[in-house]
Structures are given as C-alpha cells and as structure tokens.
C-alpha cells in the first residue's frame, strides 16, 4: 500500500502552520464506501498537565459541537507516542465519507478549541483524520456500528494472547460475540481485548467463499 504525501501552508489571521496530508487507503476503499483516508496535522504547545482518559474526554466534549456543526461526528480521540513526538489524533466520520476538504475544515474549526480546552501537557501534533477502510474498535459505539462486519479481535486468555477473525454478531457492553471463519461463535470479554478493528476484504467473507467452493 502506497502513501501520497503533500504539504500545504494554511494561514488564518496570525495563526500560521504547515500541515501534511497523507492519502493511504486502497483505491475504491474507504469508510463504508469509496473514500480514502486523510489526515491533516498541526504541531503546537499545550499546558503542562498530565494526560488522562478523563482529560481526553474533556477535549472530545469540547470539539464535538464544532465537528457536528460541519455535518460530521467524532469517531475517536487518542494520544499516541511519547516524549517529544506525540500525536493527538482526532478521527471524524461522515455519512458520505470524509475527503480532504472536510479534514481541512474540521482542522480549522477544532484547532482553536483544542488550544483553549487543552489539558494535555507538552508538545504534540494535532492530527485530524478519517477512520479509513479498517476502523479501530475502542468504544462501545464502535462495536455497535461494526455489528455484521468482518473484524479481527486480539485478547488475553489464561493460556496467553489469542486473535480471532470473523463476523461481529453481538455486543452487550461487557462482551462481544464473533462468528469465526470456521462457523464457531467466540464470546469475548471486552475487558480482555487488547486490539480490535474492522477488516476490509474484497469480495464475500472467507466463510461464504468456502461454502461456495464446497458446492462447486
């Protein structure tokens, strides 16, 4: 999979920053449709406070109205990396997908809000992106939106880490049920999950392909 970066300079009043946009989704792939993955980043300083999940939720609550006013919704907010190379990644979604124009508009709208509401100490890169073809599942609403889709879930067990692939069938807030490619239903405690994401596949799921092959 290739990446096509390009840099641009955006100026708003006295705010002047260099941003980089990267397109990295397969052709024809996207967020529930033919939309590529975009992100636009801005490096800035914030107040010296330790980041916590509570603080990230406060930032999320502060930017959600501005994102909604543009016709999009906040999918996720994460603080990645460490030291002097941290990224505050704001992932937004839209009914008709997210393009470069949308990412730029959201970045301009939320940048001053993040500065005013910042509770995250040190320097970091503010990155606004779309979920792309394979979305991380970290919150309850992520699992609900992925019901019926192909997923990959990695989780802890008493015998060590495991990973299952299949269709997400059920989610009740505490557990999720994945029907594997072999037709077995795996019930997984969400508290044991270390990584979960949707999986993009060309054509029908593996199980359906196996059934079709068996009938031929």
Looking at 2.50.20.20, 2.30.30.520, 3.40.640.10, 3.30.70.1150, the CATH number of the domain 140-215 comes to 2.30.30.520
Could you check whether 4-129 and 140-215 share the same CATH topology? no
Is 37 in contact with 60 (CB distance < 8 Å)?
A: no
Extended beta strands in 72-174, E state = 73-80, 87-93, 122-129, 150-155, 162-171
| pLDDT per position as a tens digit, 21-67 | 333 333 334 444 444 455 555 555 544 444 467 888 889 999 999 99
Per-domain boundaries in the chain: 4-129, 140-215
As a whole number, mean pLDDT of residues 89-107 equals: 90
pTM: 0.66
**Rg of the chain over CA atoms, in angstroms?**
19
| Per-residue confidence (pLDDT) for residue 69, from 0 to 100 | 96
Q: Which range is least confidently modeled, 21-35, 78-92, 151-165, 184-198? A: 21-35
CA distance 110 to 165: 36
Buried b (16+ CB within 10 A) or exposed e, 129-162: bbbbbbbbbbeeebbebbeebbbbbebeeeeeee
Tell which wins on pLDDT, 204 or 63: 63
Give CA torsion, residues 175, 178, 183, 184, to 10 deg.
-30
CA distance 62 to 43: 19
Tell which wins on pLDDT, 33 or 92: 92
| Per-residue confidence (pLDDT) for residue 125, from 0 to 100 | 84
User: What number of H helices and E strands is found in the chain?
Assistant: 4, 11
Compute the mean pLDDT over every residue in the chain, rounded to the nearest whole number: 76
End-to-end CA distance of the chain: 33
| pLDDT per position as a tens digit, 99-157 | 889 999 999 999 988 887 656 767 778 899 888 888 999 999 999 999 999 999 999 99
CATH fold of 4-129: GMP Synthetase; Chain A, domain 3 (3.30.300)
Instruction: Return the SS3 of 216.
Output: coil
């Amino acid at each position: 999979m290739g990446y096509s970066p390009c840099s641009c300079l955006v100026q708003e009043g006295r705010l002047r920053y260099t941003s980089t946009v990267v397109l990295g989704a397969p052709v024809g792939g996207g967020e529930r449709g033919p939309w590529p993955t975009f992100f636009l980043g801005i490096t800035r300083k914030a107040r010296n406070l330790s980041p916590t999940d509570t603080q990230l939720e406060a930032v999320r609550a502060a930017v959600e109205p501005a994102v909604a006013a543009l016709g999009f919704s906040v999918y996720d907010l994460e603080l990645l990396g460490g030291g002097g190379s941290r990224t505050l990644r704001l992932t937004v979604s839209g009914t008709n997908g997210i393009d470069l124009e949308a990412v730029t508009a959201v970045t301009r709208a939320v940048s001053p809000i993040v500065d005013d509401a910042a509770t995250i100490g040190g320097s970091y890169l503010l990155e606004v992106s779309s979920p792309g073809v394979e979305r991380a599942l970290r919150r309850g609403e992520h699992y609900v939106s992925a019901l019926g889709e192909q997923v990959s879930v990695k989780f802890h067990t008493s015998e060590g880490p495991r990973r299952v692939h299949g269709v997400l069938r059920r989610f009740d807030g505490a557990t999720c049920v994945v029907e594997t490619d072999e037709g077995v239903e795996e019930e997984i405690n969400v508290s044991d999950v270390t990584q979960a994401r949707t999986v993009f596949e060309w054509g029908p799921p593996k199980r359906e392909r196996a059934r079709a092959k068996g009938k031929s």
